[in-house]
């Protein structure tokens, strides 16, 4: 089945450690996105990529990094510079341009101890 996978579903890390969240899609979408969601709040855009080997900062990019070496994959690294990394992280993809919606993965809940 076509879709977006994120792994793992739950992730625990010690403060000061970098951690990488995985996002893979087999929808042949050009564009991919990372969002952060805090409890009871909406989604905020961290980074997005419209094409392989290119990406742009979203609204809250500080303390995060991404890469887009393959069309199917858009991993997000939460670095030790991110002051409050505990949150729910959602990855999405879409066709580039057009009116079509973004498709979301199941999310990764990151807890930093």
Residues in the site for another protein, rule: CB under 8 A? 31, 33, 35, 40-45, 48, 50, 58, 88, 90, 92, 94-107, 109
CA dihedral 90, 96, 100, 104 (to 10 degrees): -10
User: Shortest distance, CB of residue 96 to another protein, whole angstroms?
Assistant: 6
* C-alpha to C-alpha distance for 81 and 3, rounded to whole angstroms: 31
| CB within 8 Å of 16: residues ≥ 6 apart | 80
Q: Which is nearer to another protein, 2 or 97 (CB)?
A: 97
User: Shortest distance, CB of residue 80 to another protein, whole angstroms?
Assistant: 25
User: Shortest distance, CB of residue 59 to another protein, whole angstroms?
Assistant: 9
């Amino acid at each position: 089945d076509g879709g977006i996978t994120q792994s793992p579903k739950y992730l625990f890390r010690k403060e000061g450690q970098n951690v990488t969240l995985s996002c893979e899609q087999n929808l042949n979408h050009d564009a991919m996105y990372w969002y952060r969601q805090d409890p009871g709040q909406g989604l905020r855009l961290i980074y997005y990529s419209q094409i392989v080997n290119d990406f742009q900062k979203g609204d809250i990019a500080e303390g995060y990094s991404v890469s887009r070496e393959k069309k199917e994959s858009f991993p997000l690294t939460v670095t030790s510079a991110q002051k409050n990394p505990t949150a729910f992280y959602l990855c999405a993809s879409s066709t580039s341009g057009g009116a079509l919606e973004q498709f979301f993965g199941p999310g990764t809940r990151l807890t930093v101890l």
